[in-house]
Amino acid sequence: MEKDLTAEEYLQRILHNEVREDCPMRRTLELLSGKWRTHIIFELCKKPSCRFGELKKAVPHITNTMLTNTLRDLEGFGIVHREQFNEIPPRVEYSLTEKGKALLPAFFELAKWGEAYLEEEQEH
Which residues, 6 or more positions from 107, have their beta carbon under 8 angstroms from its beta carbon?
A: 41, 42, 45
Domain parsing of the chain, residue ranges? 34-123
Sheet holding 80-85, edge to edge: 50-51, 91-96, 80-85
What's the confidence (pLDDT) of residue 123? 58
What's the confidence (pLDDT) of residue 5? 77
| pTM strictly above 0.85 | no
Q: CA triplet 114, 118, 120: central angle to 5 degrees?
A: 130
Q: Give the CA distances from residue 29 to residues 34, 47, 66, 84, 99, in Å, rounded to whole numbers and listed in that order.
A: 9, 24, 19, 29, 15
How far is Cα 39 from Cα 31, in angstroms, rounded to an integer? Answer: 13
pLDDT, one tens digit for every residue, the chain (124 residues): 556 778 788 777 777 766 567 777 788 888 889 899 999 999 999 999 999 999 999 999 999 999 999 999 999 999 999 999 998 988 999 999 999 999 999 999 889 999 989 876 555 5
How far is Cα 39 from Cα 23, in angstroms, rounded to an integer? Answer: 24
The CATH number given to 34-123 is 1.10.10.10
